[in-house]
Amino acid sequence: MATNMSDAKRRMAGPELRQKRTPMLSDSWLCAIFIAPSVLMLALMVFYPFVMLIRYSGLTFSMLRPDVAPVHVGLGNYIDLLTDTGVWHRFAFTGKFVLATLSIQFTVGIAAAYAFQRDFKGRDVLFTLALMPMMFCPIVVGFLWQYMFNSEWGLVNWLVSLLGVAKIDWLGQSENALWAVAVADAWTWTPFVILLATAGFRGIPKDIRESAQVDGASPAFTFFHVTLPMSLPIIVIALLLRVIDAFKQFDLFVAMTGGGPGSETETAAYSLSKMAFGYFHTGQASAFAIILLVVIFGLSMVFVRYLTSLSNRI
């Protein structure tokens, strides 16, 4: 603008122009300033440790022995871990646990969400109460359920004895312990599934429900062919979050079984923490962490892919 103006005009418009020339932050600079703190935090807390993690995973060393020089082993740590049947056992156990707890959470959660669809007296109070377990600290939940599942004086065995069945050693045997911990985990997280499934169900337009009624669909047919498939995107999100979380389950096993008997109820995450901060095999633990990351990442990708294909349609 200014270059097109005659001198006279420029002189007249002087103060105004000078004012306009004061450095103004362009949009891109402003954006950069706003995201800088988060980028800095990420760099410090995520990128740097991640790079170090990859570096450590190629070394044999222990954080406790900085005096011992690290030895480069290349992929040695990975090969050791992947050929160790114990590691495979941990992953298999983790997988079983994830399946067990998620099947409880989603069956109960979706059924409860369906029940909460109906208008009944005290529904809102009951709904709020049903969400409470989510607000407990996991380690507290662990100790709570450890008492409940205590084979001698636990509440669960007392209930079992009422049925005339012999006492069950809930936490002393890996099969039973898996289900006991799964129940504790489900108790905490089913409310989350209820919450999201309810949101999904409520998102279905009234016209669609009425269409199904007019089309002659029974409530069960409507549930399985309309309600459930149409809330699938949100249920898959719940599933994704729960899978990731269940896969890292750690606190409940620490509190309820301590990984025992032996190391039979050690999940992958539990095992990793023992390796890293129990035995301080820092290099090997780094490799284990990377393997765990790849597994969780792969699982998540499957869900995210599915979710994308779903949301393109619905």
Partner 1 sequence: MATVEIDNLTVRFGEVTAVDAFTMTLDQGEFVVLLGPSGCGKTTTLRCVAGLQSCTSGEIRFDGTPVTNLVPAERNVGMVFQFVSLYPHLTVRQNIAFPLRARGVRRAEIAKKIDRVATVFMIGDILGHYVVGLPPGARQKVALARAVVREPAVLLLDEPLSGVEEQYREEMRWELRHFQKELGITTVYVTHDQREAMSLADRVVLMRDGKTIQSGPPAALFDDPADRFAASFIGSPSMNFLNLKVGADGLSVASDQTLLVSPPQQVIDRYRAQGLEEVILGIRPHAVELANGAAVDNNVWPAQLVDAALVGRDLQADFSIGGQTIKAELPFDADVGGASVLRLPPERCFFFAPDGSRLG
Binding site for partner 1 (CB under 8 A): 205, 207-208, 210-218, 221, 225-226, 229-230, 232, 313-314
Give the nearest distance from C-beta 232 to partner 1 in angstroms: 7
Q: What are phi and psi of 60, to 5 degrees?
A: -110, 110
The rounded distance, in Å, linking the Cα atoms of 84 and 9 is 83
The rounded distance, in Å, linking the Cα atoms of 58 and 71 is 9
Give the nearest distance from C-beta 193 to partner 1 in angstroms: 20
Q: What are phi and psi of 59, to 5 degrees?
A: -120, 155
Find, among 95, 99, 69, 91, the residue nearest to 288 by Cα: 91
Nearer to partner 1, 131 or 226 (CB): 226
Q: Alpha-carbon torsion 66, 69, 73, 76, what sign?
A: negative
Q: What is the largest CA-CA distance in the chain?
A: 106
Give the nearest distance from C-beta 307 to partner 1 in angstroms: 14
Residues 242 and 189 sit within 8 Å (Cβ to Cβ): yes
Give the nearest distance from C-beta 31 to partner 1 in angstroms: 34
Give the nearest distance from C-beta 271 to partner 1 in angstroms: 41
Nearer to partner 1, 101 or 231 (CB): 231
Give the nearest distance from C-beta 218 to partner 1 in angstroms: 7
Give the nearest distance from C-beta 214 to partner 1 in angstroms: 4
Nearer to partner 1, 175 or 210 (CB): 210
